[in-house]
């Protein structure tokens, strides 16, 4: 097994999988692999903490694997997919945020299964530790049934099901609201539940729903709003990944999330002014935090 991407969630998946099957964690470079080779502190959802060591490799040194799970940020998709495609004999599965299926398949190459699943597993890095927030649930395409069994055995509940198409779109819908809005407003997830902000959440859902529904199965707007409300309540104190990236001046996943929606809207002849405004603001904030001049 190979896990490509040693971020917080990648570390959790690698640590759990290593307990049931030989697993390699693949970093972007040999130097980064050496840094991670000393291990890391993993805090479980129960609060229990342990020191974990998983074999970590640079992309050139990583051993072949039956499966490769891609857990990198959206901008790194192509590079990670090329590495994963070179390692995996049977299949490459992305569990990334946003929508990267087409880019993943183009970069990973032929001769193996390549697709994107969806997961509600959550983790974050905090004060030098990797905090496993929730095991969540993971949905894989039916052809990845053997990988789903391994994930479940490792304590990461997973199912290989045709419902993965709906789960992918639903996760994208949640990300389309939570990530850019918390980044622009600089609030934790629970801040979006405030009475003054909830109408904005509703407006974003109503605007994007026809575009997403044209791409596959999706709950009706009211049901989707209810699910977003539950996600926000369950993660109220959390900082979204996009908010954290903007604050740190790192590249965001705005292209893989809102950029994809806007492209779909253009293809269908539908304007998305609220999402367009968020897209522009996130891009501007990234430049401000980096100290770069704003684009004209």
Active site residues: 171
Q: Please state, as a whole number, how many other Cβ atoms lie within 10 Å of the Cβ of residue 222.
A: 10
- Between CA 149 and CA 181 the distance in angstroms is 36
Query: 93 pairs with which residues across the strands?
Result: 69, 115
Name the residue with tokens 């419902």. 163
Q: 96: which DSSP letter?
A: -
User: Which residues does 110 contact at the CB level (< 8 Å), separation at least 6?
Assistant: none
Query: 43 pairs with which residues across the strands?
Result: 49, 131
Strand pairing of 129-134 and 88-94? unpaired
| Alpha carbon separation from 32 to 35, 37, 213 (Å, rounded) | 5, 9, 41
Contact between residue 274 and residue 205 where contact means Cβ atoms under 8 Å apart = no
DSSP-assigned letters across all residues of 197-242: THHHHHHHHHHHHHHHHTTS----HHHHHHHHHHHHHHTTTPPPHH
- Between CA 258 and CA 249 the distance in angstroms is 18
Query: 116 pairs with which residues across the strands?
Result: 94
């Amino acid at each position: 097994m190979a896990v490509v991407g040693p971020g917080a969630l990648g570390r959790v998946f690698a640590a759990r999988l290593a307990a049931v099957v030989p697993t390699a964690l693949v970093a972007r470079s040999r130097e980064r692999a050496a840094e991670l080779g000393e291990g890391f502190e993993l805090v479980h959802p129960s609060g229990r903490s342990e020191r974990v060591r998983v074999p970590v490799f640079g992309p050139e040194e990583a051993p072949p694997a039956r499966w490769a799970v891609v857990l990198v940020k959206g901008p790194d998709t192509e590079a990670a997919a090329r590495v994963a495609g070179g390692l995996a004999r049977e299949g490459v599965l992305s569990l990334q945020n946003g929508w990267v299926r087409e880019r993943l398949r183009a970069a990973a190459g032929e001769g193996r299964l390549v697709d994107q699943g969806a997961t509600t597993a959550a983790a974050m890095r905090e004060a030098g530790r990797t905090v496993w927030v929730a095991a969540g649930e993971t949905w894989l395409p039916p052809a990845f049934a053997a990988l789903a069994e391994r994930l479940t055995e490792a304590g990461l509940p997973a199912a290989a099901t045709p419902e993965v198409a709906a789960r992918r779109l639903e996760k994208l819908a949640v990300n389309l609201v939570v990530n850019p809005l918390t980044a622009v407003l600089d609030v934790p997830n629970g801040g979006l539940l405030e009475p003054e902000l909830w109408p904005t959440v509703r407006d974003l859902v109503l605007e994007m729903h026809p575009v997403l529904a044209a791409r596959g199965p999706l709950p009706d707007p009211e049901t989707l709003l209810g699910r977003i409300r539950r996600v926000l309540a369950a993660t109220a104190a959390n900082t979204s990944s996009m908010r954290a990236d903007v604050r740190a001046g790192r590249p965001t996943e705005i292209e893989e999330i809102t950029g994809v929606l806007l492209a779909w809207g253009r293809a269908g002849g539908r304007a998305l002014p609220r999402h367009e405004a968020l897209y522009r603001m996130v891009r501007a904030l990234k430049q401000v935090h980096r100290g770069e001049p704003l684009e004209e």
